[in-house]
């Protein structure tokens, strides 16, 4: 997939509204006031962290050759076609967590507290199918988040953002 959720670092204020919008979009009711009463509570699939004064959005990068897809023993992680986001099929996921332990170099997959399956950003695939933006982007009060094609993002902007964001080192988890 040649799209990403681009974050305007000058506009993002770290309010976490994107997390709330994400959780609501993935709730049973799709309504905030009802969702906060659901059991289990809906979970966000992205997160915002402030690192050295920079607000960083941690979300799935929907890699072209997704390591999580490659390592999944049940093919629960995949995409419908090359232009689709990488998604998890809850019915196929065995909760083995191989994708969490060794599959994702960005550390953005997590276990769903409700049933143990793995969850991750799916770009709100229902919204995409209707021609709308993911919930995190459409709900951002400062419009700091946008779903953009990598072809739309100028190379100089990519380099500028890369220099501003601190390097994060991930430790590989060894299997028993």
Q: What is the pLDDT of residues 83-142, one digit of tens each?
A: 899 999 999 999 999 999 887 888 899 987 678 899 999 999 999 899 999 999 999 999
Q: What φ, ψ does residue 155 adopt, rounded to 5°?
A: -60, -40
pLDDT, tens only, 140-171: 999 999 998 877 777 665 555 455 444 443 33
Tell me phi and psi for residue 60, to 5 degrees.
-60, 140
Evaluated on CA atoms 77, 49, 128, 1, the torsion sign reads negative
| The overall pTM is greater than 0.85 | no
Cα gap 161→9, rounded to integer Å: 8
161, 123, 133, 84: CA torsion to nearest 10? 100
Is the model more confident about 173 or about 101?
A: 101
Parallel, antiparallel or unpaired: strands 77-78 and 87-88: antiparallel
Domains annotated for the chain, with CATH where assigned, are 1-59+133-168 (3.30.70), 64-120 (3.30.70.20)
**Using CA atoms, how far apart are residues 16 and 9, in angstroms rounded to an integer?**
14
Provide the strand spans (E) within 38-85.
Answer: 47-51, 54-58, 77-78
């Amino acid at each position: 997939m040649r799209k990403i959720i681009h974050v305007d670092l000058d506009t993002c204020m770290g309010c976490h509204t994107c997390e709330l919008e994400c959780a609501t979009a993935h709730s049973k009711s799709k309504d905030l006031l009802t969702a906060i009463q659901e059991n289990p509570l809906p979970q966000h699939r992205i997160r915002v962290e402030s690192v050295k004064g920079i607000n960083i959005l941690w979300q799935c990068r929907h890699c072209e050759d997704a390591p999580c897809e490659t390592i999944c023993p049940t093919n629960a992680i995949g995409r419908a076609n090359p232009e689709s986001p990488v998604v998890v099929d809850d019915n196929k996921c065995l909760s083995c967590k191989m994708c969490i332990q060794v599959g994702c170099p960005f550390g953005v997959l997590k276990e769903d507290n409700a049933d143990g399956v793995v969850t991750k950003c799916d770009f709100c695939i229902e919204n995409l199918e209707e021609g709308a933006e993911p919930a995190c982007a459409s709900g951002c009060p400062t419009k700091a988040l946008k779903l953009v094609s990598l072809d739309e993002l100028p190379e100089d902007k990519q380099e500028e953002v890369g220099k501003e964001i601190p390097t994060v080192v991930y430790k590989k988890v060894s299997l028993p």
